[in-house]
Structure 1
Amino acid sequence: MSIPESSTPHPDATAGAIKASIVIPMKNPGPVFRQVLAAVCKQQTSFAYDVLVVDSGSTDGSVEFVQTFVDPRVRLIQIKPTEFGHGKTRNFAVANTTGEYAVVITHDALPVDEHWLQAMVRTADADSRIAGVFGRHIAYPNASPYTKRDLEAHFANFAVEPVVQLTDRARYDQDESYRQRLHFFSDNNALLRRSVWQTHPYPDVDFAEDQIWAKNIVEAGWKKAYSVDGAVYHSHDYALIEKLQRSFDESYALYRLFGYVLSRSFTHMLKTWVAHTMNDLRYARRIGMHRTHLSLVVKMPMDNLARALGHYLGSRADKLPQKLRHWLSRDRRLLLGLPMSNSGGQPS
């Protein structure tokens, strides 16, 4: 894959002058983006950094906000909505920066403190063989208890072994869970080493561009790292239909790109639904959610069913009618600017 040429070089920076370039793809982020940009520009670092926002058609006033934001380190590039692609746009953005590291976050990923950027760079600086770093996600304070629990448990898994590399090829080829651990990556909050990105840019795909990138770099012999201190607030409490669509996209992408089948059969789907629901009921009882979040407990079984059904359908998407497949894809609807259900609780 060719690397895009930089059409808008940084006006003040010379090669090597900027240690880290923060890249933020944006489209109609809503009010949370104002907090994100302010927090990004308040980072306390021992090095110089700059910020590039790439907008792909916002109509909510966010473009005007960036244009009037008073910080010479912040730049804005606007592209047409039809030019956006998850991997394509991130490649374009990184190519239009000069930092030794490109630090990619989404428009609703809010650094938890003023040391987020320093922590991400410190992790990469510790070993020149680290090609990429992903940082911890913490649920927003108003997220549901289920969302908070799931995010905490997910990222706690990586703290046990924060730096990984491919050391056992036979196991990698045979053990799906080992492969998944090695190539998990989230560019909602991530750092890329520019010298590695130049050889291994993002793939131009509609989903999981970050995990394919991580797969490529670990298979090429690079290390991947996790930063517990490089944390951002990032979470979503999806509405029922959105949860179905999001799960469908995840399952379909993992099946197409990696061959993973998240739901092996209809019976497996039902058993998974029942198991998750019983586990969630026990958790709700343990922390007293029937007193504090009764409505969440009541609708939880349907949420779990939507997730299980999305995983089941996603693994079989190629067999579905095209219209149904397109309706089920939340990511496709976002890319095309089609109407979305309202998310509950979190910035989207």
Structure 2
Amino acid sequence: MKIDVIIPTYKPGKEFEKLIGRLQKQEYPIHKIIIINTRTDIFPEELNRSNYKIEITHIEPDQFDHGGTRNMGAGMSDADIVVYMTQDAIPVDEKLIGTFAKIFEENPDIGIAYGRQLPREECNIIERYTRRFNYPEKSLIKTKEDLPKLGIKTFFCSDVCAAYRRNYLLSAGGFENPTIFNEDMIFAGKRIYAGDKVAYVAEAKVIHSHNYTGRQQFHRNFDLAVSQAQHPEVFEGVPSEGEGIRMVKATAKYLVRNGYPWKVFMLVYQSGCKYIGYFLGKRYEKLPMWLILKCTSSRKYWKNS
């Protein structure tokens, strides 16, 4: 199968250059790497182009959209499979692309697959456990029948590292455009309801984590909740709060069990920031625009909408 990798970028740093280097060493051949860069003064002048063709397209900041820009990348490809990655996701080994290829070759009825995210070395213990909670060691193929058991996690998918059959993605209308955030789960949720399958491939591993502050968690969860409120056809009746509470309880037990009971206070603070952001985001239509702009991390989205 022909596979392209699509990477939206914004002020990419050393991690991005490391990502390109790791992609160049993949055992399964990549057809080309498509980079869609939001135009700034910061972009590496030289990239390792030794193995694969790299196409770089620059767009203006007001042209970027989480869904639309990724659709643009799919339109620039003629591959069978498109693998979306973010600029700070580093493949663990040389088998990432081949692992995705295998899941599609062995399962012709699967159109979406996403990989496992492992924490960076400097990742704090709370986020380290969150990675483990959201990205377990065991692979899973999810269908509509899993909704009673998995709830909102049935729709979970992350374009930090995810692969799609390109024709399948485009024939289903592509990602929502415009969208503030969460284009991956919106698309996956719609396809789950349509009777399709989403594969979590634990063997497809990247290093990716963030030590977000409480303030950053607030902004992210506000945007997440807005995306859910805007798509009741996917998220209505499948609340996120229960899964969030389950993760907080599991994390607290992990911290105490591993000798970090004082970290529970930080967990409570961060969880509170997440919940307040989520609570406000779900009710964004009742908020004045000045308050929305204080809460969001995507001010351009609101100014363009």
Tell me whether 217-226 or 206-215 shows the greater mean CA deviation: 217-226
Distance 1:327 1:94, change over 3 A: same
Hey, what does 2:279 align to over in structure 1? Answer: 312
2:74 and 2:167 map into 1 onto residues whose CA distance is 11
- Pairing 1:207–2:181 present: yes
Hey, what does 1:253 align to over in structure 2? Answer: 227
1:334 and 1:189 map into 2 onto residues whose CA distance is 23
CA contact (8 A) 2:114 2:200 kept: yes
SS in 2 for 1:130: coil
Larger radius of gyration: 1
Per-residue deviation, residues 83-130 of structure 1 (Å, max 9, x unmatched): 111111111111111211001111111111111111111111111111
Hey, what does 2:74 align to over in structure 1? Answer: 94
2:166 and 2:107 map into 1 onto residues whose CA distance is 14
- Pairing 1:33–2:3 present: no
Distance 1:125 1:306, change over 3 A: same
- The aligned length equals 296
Cα RMSD, aligned residues only: 2.8
Hey, what does 1:58 align to over in structure 2? Answer: 40
1:321 aligns with one of 270, 285, 288 = 288
- Pairing 1:228–2:202 present: yes
Counterpart of 1:286, as a letter, is R
CA contact (8 A) 2:180 2:223 kept: no
SS in 2 for 1:86: coil
Distance 1:335 1:134, change over 3 A: farther
- Pairing 1:117–2:88 present: no
- Pairing 1:284–2:219 present: no
1:334 and 1:59 map into 2 onto residues whose CA distance is 22
Distance 1:312 1:124, change over 3 A: same
Hey, what does 1:49 align to over in structure 2? Answer: 31
Per-residue deviation, residues 300-339 of structure 1 (Å, max 9, x unmatched): 4322221121122222222222111121111336998xxx
Counterpart of 2:27, as a letter, is Q
Distance 1:279 1:95, change over 3 A: closer
Distance 1:189 1:281, change over 3 A: closer
Q: What is the deviation of 1:297?
A: 5.7
CA contact (8 A) 1:26 1:58 kept: no
2:282 and 2:32 map into 1 onto residues whose CA distance is 41
CA contact (8 A) 2:62 2:300 kept: no
1:156 aligns with one of 120, 123, 136 = 136
2:186 and 2:96 map into 1 onto residues whose CA distance is 25
Q: What is the deviation of 1:237?
A: 1.1
1:331 aligns with one of 288, 298, 303 = 298
1:127 and 1:84 map into 2 onto residues whose CA distance is 33
Hey, what does 1:108 align to over in structure 2? Answer: 88
Per-residue deviation, residues 186-221 of structure 1 (Å, max 9, x unmatched): 111111102212301112122221112112323333
Counterpart of 2:170, as a letter, is Q
1:216 and 1:198 map into 2 onto residues whose CA distance is 14
SS in 2 for 1:52: strand
Identity of aligned residues (%): 22
2:161 aligns with one of 189, 196, 207 = 189
CA contact (8 A) 2:24 2:52 kept: no
Distance 1:146 1:179, change over 3 A: closer
Hey, what does 2:143 align to over in structure 1? Answer: 165
